[in-house]
A and B are shown apart, each in its own frame.
Chain A
Amino acid sequence: MTVALIIEQILNGIQLGTMLFLMASGLTLVFGVMGLINLAHGSFYMAGAFVTAIVAATTGSFWIGLLVGTLAAAAIGVVIEFTIIRRLYDRDHLDQVLATFALILIFSEGTYMIFGSSPMFLSIPQELRGSVNLPLDISYSKYRLAIIGMGIVVAVGLYLLISKTRLGMRIRAGENDREMIGALGVDIKTLYTLVFALGAGLAGLAGSTIGALQSVRVGMGEPVLIMAFVVIVIGGIGSIKGALVGAVLVGVVDTMGRVFLPMTLSNFLPASQAMSIGSSISAMLIYIMMAAILAFKPNGLFGSK
C-alpha cells in the first residue's frame, strides 16, 4: 500500500464526488426551493449523455457535444417542468414519487425504443487523453483531473450564483418563504422553471462527462441517482454546502472502501474470503455511513429544519 496508490484513490474518490455533486446540487436545489422530490433526475443525466454521444459522433467534436448535451438536458427539463412537474408542487410527496417514477419508466423505455439496448460509445477528447505526472511519482488520468477541475469551477460558480446575484437571492428567498416572495411580485413560476432547468442541466453535464468514462446506455442514471440521494440525505436536504461535503465524503469513502477493505481484510483472512467479504461490505459502506450520521443528526450535516 504505497502513498501513490492512496493519493490516486483519493483523487478517484474526489472525481466520483464531483459527479455526485453535480447530481446532488440539482436535486437539493429543486427540493429546497420547490419542495419537490424528483426521482427522474437520473433521466436528465442519461439524456445529456445520449445527446452528447450523438452530437459528438456527427460533428466529431466532444466539446460541441458536451455543450449541446448539457443544453438539451436543461431544455428537456424546461419541457417536463412546464407539462408535468408544475402540477406536482402542491401535491404530497407520494404523488411526486409516483409521477416521477412514471417519468423514469417513460424516459427509459422511450430511449430503448429509439436507440435499442446496445450501449453507445463516447470517447475522451484528444486533448485530455493520457495521463499527467503529479509530484510524488504519481501519474493520473488527465480526463479525470479535468473533471475534478470542472467540479471546482461549477461549485464556485454555483456559490457565486446563489450568494451574489439577484437570481440567487430569489432562490434563497424561495427556500425560506415561497408565498412571501410571490406576494412581493417575483414571478415565481419562471423562477421555478429556471431552477429546475439549472438542476437538469447540471445532471446533463454530469452524464455527458461520465459517458466518456463508461458506456452510454439506458439506466445509467439510476445508480448515480440513488447515490445522490444518499449524498443529500447526509448533507441535509436543501443545502448546497451539504451537497458538496456529502458528495466528496460519499465519493471518497466508496472508492477507498472498494479498494482498501479487501486489501486490509486479506491480512487476517484467506484471499478469496477477504475478497468476497470485503467487496460486500464496501458495497454497503456508504449506506452504513448514512445510517450512522442520521442516528446522530436526523436532518443531515447541514440540514436546517
Chain B
Amino acid sequence: MTTVLNSLKPQALVSTLIPQTREHWINLLLILGLVGAALLAQYLGERFYVNLASRIAIIAMAAVGLNLALGFGGMVSFGHAAFFGLGGYVAGICAYHAFNMNPALGIGFLPEGTNQMLTIWAFTLVLSGLLGLAIGKISLGTSGVYFIMITLAFAQMFYYFGISWPAYGGEDGLPIYLRNELPLIDTNNRLTFFFVAAAMLLISLWLSQRLMGSRFGAALTMARLNPVRLATTGVDPQPIKLMAFVISAMITALAGALYADLNGFVGPNMLSWHFSGELIVIVILGGVGRLYGPLAGAILFVLMETWLGGVTRYWQFWLGLILLGVVLFARGGLLGLLAGRDKDV
C-alpha cells in the first residue's frame, strides 16, 4: 500500500500489496475487520456500533501517536492525555465561539471561532506541536523515571487548568452542539464520519511506517537502543527524540479533536491521567513497538470496555488483572501472541 509510489518494478509492487508475513496478514485483517464491522452495523441499522467503530479508530489513532514516542522512541510518556485533551478543547472552543458568534477566547480582535474541521485541525497541529516541543524539551533533559513523572505532572497541570477555568465549562466540560464540518463531506452521517476517522487512522499509520522506514526511523530506533553508539556515528540523539515526541503529540492531538467531534462534548476527563494510563495500556495490550499494535490494542480495549462494562460495573478490576497478567507473563501483547515474536516495522 505504502511503497507503491516509489517502487516501479512489478514484483516489488505485488510484494507490497500481498501480505508477506503472518503479521502483515493480521494487520490487513484488523483494518478490513474494522471497516467491515462499521459497514455491517450501518447495514443492520445498529447506530451504536457504527459510532463504536469510529471510537475504536480514533482511540487507535491516539495510540498510534503514543506508540511513536513510547514504542519506537522508548520515551515512556505518561502525559499524552494533555495533547489528546488539547485537540479536544481546540475543537470544542472553536465550535463554541462559532455557535455563539463571539470572538475567540473573549478577545475582541480574534475571529469568531470556526466550525470547519480543516481549520480546527490546522490549529490543533500547530498548538500541539508547540506544546509538544515545550514539554518534550523540558522532559527530555531528563530520562528514565524523571521523564515518566514529568510528563505526568505536565498533563496534570493542564487537567487542573481545565477544571478551574470556568469560561469553557470547567469541571462540567463543553458541549459541541453541531458537529464541525468538512467541505463536500457530510460529517453528521455516522458512516461518513467513521470513514473520516478511519482515513485519519490510516494516514497516521502510513506516516508512522514511512517515518520508521526512513533514516530518521533508524536513528530513532538507535536512540532507543543505544544512544551512545548513535552519538558516536555523528547523530545527536536528543533532536531525533524531540522530533519524534513532537510528531507523536501532534497525531494524538488530532485524534483528540476528532474524539470531541464524535462525542459532541469535550471535558477535563480527556486530560486526566487515567486516560494517559489507558493509552499506554492500549499500546502494550496490542504489542509495543509494532506498527499495528495500537489498533489491535484499541479494538481489544474498547470491546472489553463495552462488553465487560455491560456485564459488570467493576470491569476495570478485571482489566487490571488482565493487564497485570500481560505485564508479568505475556510481554509481546496481542500481536505478539498472534504473530509470533518476530517484529517488523
Partner-B contacts on A (CB < 8 A): 31, 37, 84, 87, 93-95, 97-99, 101-106, 108-110, 112-113, 222, 226, 229-230, 232-233, 237, 276, 279-280, 283-284, 287-288, 290-291, 294-295, 298-299
Contacts and interface: CB of A to CB of B under 8 A. Distances in A.
Given A84-B324, A294-B138, 8 more contacts: A37-B148, A98-B326, A101-B280, A109-B320, A233-B146, A280-B161, A291-B138, A294-B150
A209 to B, nearest CB: 24
Interface string B146-167: 1011101110110011011111
Contacts of A287: 153-154, 156-157
A20 to B, nearest CB: 14
Query: Would you list the 9 A-B pairs with minimal beta carbon distance, nearest first?
Result: A105-B320, A109-B317, A287-B157, A283-B160, A106-B320, A102-B323, A102-B324, A102-B320, A229-B149
Interface string B269-312: 00001000100110010001000000000000000000000000
Contacts of A103: 320, 324
B76 interface: yes
5 contacts: A97-B280, A109-B320, A226-B152, A230-B149, A284-B161
Given A105-B316, A276-B165, A283-B160, A94 B153 contact: no
A46 to B, nearest CB: 15
Contact of B148 (A93, A113, A298): A93
B184 interface: no
B154 A98 contact: no
Q: Of B138, B144, B149, which is in contact with the most chain A CB atoms at under 10 Å from its CB?
A: B149
Q: Of B157, B163, B321, which is in contact with the most chain A CB atoms at under 10 Å from its CB?
A: B157
Given A31-B145, A237-B145, A294-B138, A284 B327 contact: no
A97 B146 CA distance: 12
Contacts of B313: 112
Contacts of A295: 138, 141
A284 B78 CA distance: 18
A288 B320 contact: no
Contact of B153 (A31, A104, A222, A290): A290
Nearest to A236: B146
Given A101-B277, A226-B273, A280-B161, A106 B324 contact: yes
A257 to B, nearest CB: 12
A100 to B, nearest CB: 9
Interface in B117-173: 138, 141-142, 144-146, 148-150, 152-154, 156-157, 160-161, 163-167
A290 B316 CA distance: 32
Nearest to A36: B145
Interface residues of B, number: 43
Contact of B145 (A37, A98, A226): A37
Given A31-B145, A84-B324, A229-B153, A106 B164 contact: no
Contacts of A233: 146, 149-150, 153
A93 B138 contact: no
B152 A284 contact: no
A11 to B, nearest CB: 24
Given A113-B317, A276-B166, A95 B152 contact: no
Nearest to A106: B320
A299 B142 contact: yes
Contacts of B327: 95, 98-99, 102
Nearest to B313: A112
B161 A283 contact: yes
Contact of B328 (A84, A112, A222): A84
A278 to B, nearest CB: 9
B78 A108 contact: no
Q: Of A102, A226, A237, A295, which is in contact with the most chain B CB atoms at under 10 Å from its CB?
A: A102
Given A94-B70, A106-B324, A109-B317, A230 B153 contact: yes
Given A98-B281, A99-B324, A110-B317, A298 B164 contact: no
Contacts of B142: 294, 298-299
Interface string B62-101: 0000000010000010100000000000000000000000
Q: Of A101, A237, A284, which is in contact with the most chain B CB atoms at under 10 Å from its CB?
A: A101
Contacts of A294: 138, 141-142, 146, 150
A93 B145 contact: yes
Given A93-B148, A291-B138, A295-B138, A279 B153 contact: no
B157 to A, nearest CB: 4
A233 B277 CA distance: 19
A237 B146 contact: yes
